[in-house]
Each structure stands twice: as C-alpha cells, then as structure tokens.
C-alpha cells in the first residue's frame, strides 16, 4: 500500500514538474513582457468599462512621421464588442465629417488634443466621434501607420480582396510635400500614379498603406466611404495574421510581434483589460464579427462656397438623429441587415 502511494506521489510530482516546464515560458511572457496577470485574466478581476454589457473602442490610424499633418486621423473606426453575444462589430466613420465644436473636420480632433497636451488627443477624439454616433466610447487605440508598414512586412505581407479596380494619379510622395516642382503650378512632382486590380492581392507594407491612403482615385473608390472600407479590409487582414501567430503558441514569435506592435500603438486600454476581452472572445461560444460603415446617403456635401471651399460632410438636414439610430442598431441588433436607412 505504501509503495503504491509513493508511486502515485512520484507520478504526481513528475507530472507537475512537466506542466511547470511547459507552462513557465507562457507565464513569463504574460507577466514579464505583457505585464498581464493570468489569474486576473481568468477571473476578470480588472474591471472593463461597459454599457449594456458592451464595450466600444475607437481605432484611429494616423500618418505618423514628422511632416505636417502627421497626427491627422487617416482612418476612424469604432469597434463594439458584445460580451453576452461574443460578437465584434466595427463601424467605419468618414474622416471628413464637419465638427462645429472644432470648427474643422473630425479627423483633426486627435491632432488638436495632442497639440494641447500629451494624451489629450485620445480624449478629444473619443468625445467627437461619440457625438457623431450618439454612443459613448470607453477606450481608444491609435495606430501609427508609418510603423504599421514595418509590422505588415514582419507578417510577410497580407492578403486582401480588392473590391474593384482603381487608379489614383495623385498619390502623394513622402518627403515632397514642400517641393516647388520647378515652378509647376500643379505641383505634379509631388505625386505618383498607383493602381490596384480587382481580386485577391498579396500586399507588402508599402502597398498596403497606398491601398488604404489613396484619396484621389477615379470613380467611386475616390470617396471617403470607399476608403473606409479599404481600411477595414487591411485591419482585418492584419488581425487574421496576428491571431495565427498567437494561436501558434510560439513564444519567441509572439515576443517579436509584441516588439513590433507596442511602439506603434498609443492607447488608454491596458494589456490586462485587452487580455480579458481576448479571453472572452477565445473561450466564448460562436464568435462572430461584422464590418459596416456609415452610409453615404446619411450626408450632404456642401458647395464650394461654404466651409472655406473645403470638402466636408454634414448630416442631412444638419440632424444626427438618423446616424445615432443606425449606429445603435448596428451595435445591438441580432440581425444587422435589418438596420436599414431610416
């Protein structure tokens, strides 16, 4: 009997040591590199700010670098995670919506806030976008697109389904913003021509940024709404690649990934809080995700004699009620296709 007990005890300790050796690298990754407590993550001890069991995260993409306009928001998305339904829904927001508070377009909110004080950009951008969609925003993530290019290259590129072919003959060349082009009044030397063909395409970081930043394409792809859809495609393609690395449980690859992503992201959500959301997604049942954008029909484009001749968007009849109703429906409805234009 005693011998049997000792054998069982030996097996228990051997198994425990084996588990410790296997799990220790992951534990150290969470504790030392990501500063995450596995216990808090499992028990959801760190409180997540929610409304109706849903959390809204504003995702901004800024140009980055040192040139003028480097902190303007090239892309604006709101990600809504429903804990009860295990559903992630993103809504693209046109960057050219006019803000009477800023007396400028909403893509300038982050820039104005950061100019006043470090961290002020996130607060102001959340307030401005929340007023557009009529829904409070709990957190924000700001991605520096200049570093985003390096991340995509680290991921060995991404695969994107291009909805329609387009050509942009006025894509700005970095570093030539102040070039006088030898007196050319159209400043053509500041631009290059880029083209994308319909269908699946593998993109490196440089081409992916051109794809999402293009603003002067001929036809429908030249609109801010089409641009928002392209940005969503790239963000989700990156997310898919990142998810695969995390699921591989390759410690060194995950550490490398973190070193590429952490410097290009500013946020007011901690790793611990993000881990709790990730845990809910991974361990929840039937995870679903959807992508939408505010429809073009919700907005008017004033004539060139208004707003100092700038291209801006204003809600039809200067009323945000329709936008608020649509946003609330997109984030709460089970059948999101029922969220028709009111």
Domain ranges for the chain: 1-33, 34-338
Residue from 327, 336, 311 nearest 107 by CA: 311
Of 205, 228, 224, 225, which Cα lies nearest the Cα of 215?
Answer: 224
Distances (CA, A) of 175 to 3, 67, 191, 266: 78, 8, 11, 24
Give kind and range of the element (H or E) at residue 193. Answer: strand 191-196
- Residue 337's nearest CA partner among 167, 159, 89, 142 is 89
Return the ∠ at Cα 13 (arms to 9 and 14), rounded to 5°.
115
The per-residue pLDDT for 82 is 93
Print pLDDT tens along the chain (342 aa).
Answer: 555 444 444 444 433 333 333 344 555 555 556 666 665 666 665 678 888 899 999 999 887 765 566 788 888 999 999 999 999 999 999 999 999 999 999 999 999 999 998 889 999 999 999 999 999 999 999 988 878 888 999 999 999 999 999 999 998 887 787 878 888 788 888 888 999 999 999 999 999 989 988 888 888 888 878 888 888 888 889 888 888 887 777 778 888 888 888 888 889 988 888 878 887 887 778 888 888 889 888 999 888 778 888 889 999 888 899 999 999 999 988 787 778 765
How far does the chain reach from its first CA to its final CA, in angstroms? 77
How many whole angstroms separate alpha carbon 250 and alpha carbon 187? 49
DSSP 104: E
> Using CB atoms within 10 A of its CB, is residue 327 exposed (0-12), middle (13-18) or buried (19+)?
buried
Q: Rounded to an integer, what distance in angstroms lies between the CA atom of residue 120 and that of residue 109?
A: 9
Q: Which of 57, 95, 65 is nearest to 230 (CA)?
A: 95
Q: What's the CATH architecture for 34-338?
A: 3-Layer(aba) Sandwich (3.40)
Report pLDDT for 60: 93
Cα gap 128→328, rounded to integer Å:
17
């Amino acid at each position: 009997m005693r011998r049997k007990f000792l054998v069982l005890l030996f097996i228990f300790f051997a198994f425990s040591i084996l588990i410790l050796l296997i799990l220790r690298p992951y534990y150290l990754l969470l504790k030392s590199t990501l500063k995450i407590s596995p216990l808090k993550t499992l028990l959801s001890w760190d409180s997540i700010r929610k409304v109706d069991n849903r959390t809204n995260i504003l995702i901004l993409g800024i140009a980055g670098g040192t040139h003028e306009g480097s902190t303007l928001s090239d892309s604006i998305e709101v990600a809504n995670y429903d804990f009860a339904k295990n559903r992630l829904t993103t809504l693209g927001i046109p960057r050219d919506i006019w803000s009477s508070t800023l007396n400028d377009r909403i893509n300038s909110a982050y820039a104005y806030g950061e100019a006043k004080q470090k961290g002020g950009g996130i607060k102001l951008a959340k307030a401005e976008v929340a007023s557009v969609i009529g829904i409070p925003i709990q957190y924000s993530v700001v991605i520096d697109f200049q570093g985003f290019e390096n991340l995509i290259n680290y991921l060995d590129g991404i695969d994107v389904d291009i909805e329609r072919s387009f050509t942009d003959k006025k894509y700005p060349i970095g570093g030539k913003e102040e070039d006088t082009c030898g007196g050319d009044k159209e400043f053509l030397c500041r631009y290059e021509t880029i083209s994308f063909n319909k269908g699946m395409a593998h993109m490196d970081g440089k081409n992916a940024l051109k794809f999402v930043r293009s603003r002067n394409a001929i036809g429908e792809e030249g609109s801010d709404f089409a641009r928002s859809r392209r940005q969503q495609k790239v963000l989700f393609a990156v997310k898919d690649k990142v998810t695969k690395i995390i699921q591989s449980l390759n410690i060194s690859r995950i550490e490398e990934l973190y070193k590429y992503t952490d410097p290009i992201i500013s946020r007011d959500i901690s790793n611990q809080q993000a881990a709790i959301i990730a845990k809910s997604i991974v361990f929840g049942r039937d995870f679903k995700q959807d992508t939408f954008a505010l429809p073009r029909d919700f907005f008017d484009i004033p004539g060139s004699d208004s707003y100092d001749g700038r291209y801006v968007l204003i809600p039809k009849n200067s009323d945000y009620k329709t936008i608020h109703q649509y946003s609330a429906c997109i984030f709460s409805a089970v059948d999101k296709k029922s969220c028709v234009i009111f």
